[in-house]
Each structure stands twice: as C-alpha cells, then as structure tokens.
Amino acid sequence: MSIVARDLNGRVLLVRHSYGPEGWYFPGGGKRRSETPEQAALREIKEETGCTVSGLMAVGIIDEELAGAPHRAHVFDGVVDAVPQPDGREIVEARFFPTHSLPEPLSKRTRARFALWQARRC
C-alpha cells in the first residue's frame, strides 16, 4: 500500500529508498498477515518517516505486476503535521513537495498512484 500524505500546506510527502530503482515514491509497503490495509499504511509511514497520519482515507486500489507477480496496491490519503525523519535504513530521504512541482525521477508506480489520488480529489 501507499499513502499520499500531505502536510498542512497541501504538499505531498515523497521518499527515496536505500535499495531498488532510483526514484521518488510515496511512503508505504507490505501488509502483515494480521493487519488491515489501513493498519499497515499507518505502521509503514511511522516506521519509514516517524510521522503519524490523521484523517486516513482510502483512495482506491491499483492492480499491477510487481517483480513478475500480480499485486494489489491500496492507496490512502491523509495528513501529517510533523517533519519527516527518514529511518536511515530503508529510507534515505523524505521531503514534502508541492503537487505542481514533483521531483524527478518519479517512479512509474508513484505516477500511477498520484494520478489515482488526483482523480479522486476532483
């Protein structure tokens, strides 16, 4: 799952990982067996950035292929009111960006999640 986390000014939080393809991503990750997608989203953003999300809302689901296997990505929206602190292991950088000026390279998955999020906000 991924979270389109916004600050109080409407900027979105993006992270860069210490592994995998270079690019900016929304915070998120995998769901543990005992978790709901919502619980997993809240845990992942806390682990990766130290941020707590308020007003978590489901945006939608993207069916995609990940590492050659079918994958269902839950996308959420929420607000954080803290400065993100990368965990230094998985996340090496975490910053807020205005929606009209997102950084490059922006991953293909991030673009798909952002488009879904934008469509639901209109």
pLDDT tens readout for residues 9-64: 999 999 999 998 899 999 999 999 999 999 999 999 999 999 999 999 999 999 99
Over residues 88-98, mean pLDDT? 96
CA angle 119, 4, 44 (to 5 degrees): 145
More confident residue, 65 or 77: 77
**Gap between the Cα atoms of 103 and 110, Å rounded:** 11
Comparing C-alpha atoms, which of 41, 21, 36, 43 is closest to residue 109?
Answer: 21
The model scores a pTM over 0.85: yes
pLDDT above 70 covers a percentage of the chain that reads 99
- Segment 105-109 shows an average pLDDT of 93
Residue 69 pLDDT > 70, yes or no? yes
Average pLDDT, the chain: 94
Q: Is the pLDDT of residue 67 over 90?
A: no
- What is the greatest pairwise CA distance in the chain? 38
Do the Cβ atoms of 16 and 87 come closer than 8 Å? no
- Domains defined along the chain, listed by start: 2-121 (3.90.79.10)
- Indicate the SS3 state at residue 95: strand
